Amino acid sequence: MDHLHEGVQSASGELSPMELKKMRGSLILVLFSLAIPLFVLIDVRVLMVGAYVSPEANQIIGLVAAVLMLVSWVTVGEALRGVKERNFKRVLSSIRLSLLLGFVSWLLIGVQVVNHSVNSLTHYGETFLVSLGTIDVYLLFGLAALLSVRMRVRNFGAAVDHQWGVYSTALYWRFTIIVWIVMYAVLYLV
């Protein structure tokens, strides 16, 4: 009889193990589909400019953004641990710090797009600016998701019976961090 109710959400709002597994699988599929445009951008960059890196590309700004994003990896992990322990102050403070680090990274990357730090009329400049713009959009979505989860935890606190919202947002945020690290290496180092 229990196996009949395996995929059903409980009355308390907790997700069954089967439902959680389905949702994780779906989210991972979405993240893979979000990676496709980035693979295309990397291929276009390699085909158009090879290993050339413009001396106008500001590696320091990119590196600072990468370090901030890596630190936010840890702070999002702290938020997940806070949810498991039902320590909502820890969740709120960790997400707030992740938001701050992510926002500064978003600004640093965006400054290079807005200021056209490289010549946009070259093949390198085209791929550089389009890649940075794409990553900035992914970061903006991640910041919106972090802000949404933070507001939900702040408003509902202990009434939030399951951790799916924080988990899925943390997974997306970590995806954007990996994307930025890979794109940093492709745009600034290769």
pLDDT digits (tens, 9 = 90+) for 133-173: 999 999 999 999 999 999 988 887 755 556 788 889 999 99
Residue pair 49/124 in contact by the 8 Å Cβ criterion: yes
One-character DSSP codes across 43-72: HHHHHHHTT---TTS-HHHHHHHHHHHHHH
Q: How far apart are CA 190 and CA 183, in angstroms?
A: 10
Tokens at 42, concatenated: 């990397």
* Per-residue confidence (pLDDT) for residue 2, from 0 to 100: 46
Q: What is the CA angle 95-100-102, rounded to 5? A: 90
Highest average pLDDT, of 43-47, 56-60, 137-141, 155-159, comes from 137-141
Question: Is the per-residue pLDDT at 17 higher than 90?
Answer: no
Tokens at 182, concatenated: 């890979």
* Per-residue confidence (pLDDT) for residue 8, from 0 to 100: 46
Q: How far apart are CA 34 and CA 144, in angstroms?
A: 17
Kindly state the average pLDDT of the residues 30-42. Answer: 91
Residue pair 184/62 in contact by the 8 Å Cβ criterion: yes
Q: How far apart are CA 154 and CA 156, in angstroms?
A: 6
Round the average pLDDT of the chain to a whole number and report it.
Answer: 86
Kindly state the average pLDDT of the residues 55-60. Answer: 86
Residue pair 130/41 in contact by the 8 Å Cβ criterion: yes
Question: Rounded to two decimals, what is the model's pTM?
Answer: 0.85
CATH code for the domain defined by 15-189:
1.20.120.80
Q: How far apart are CA 101 and CA 69, in angstroms?
A: 7
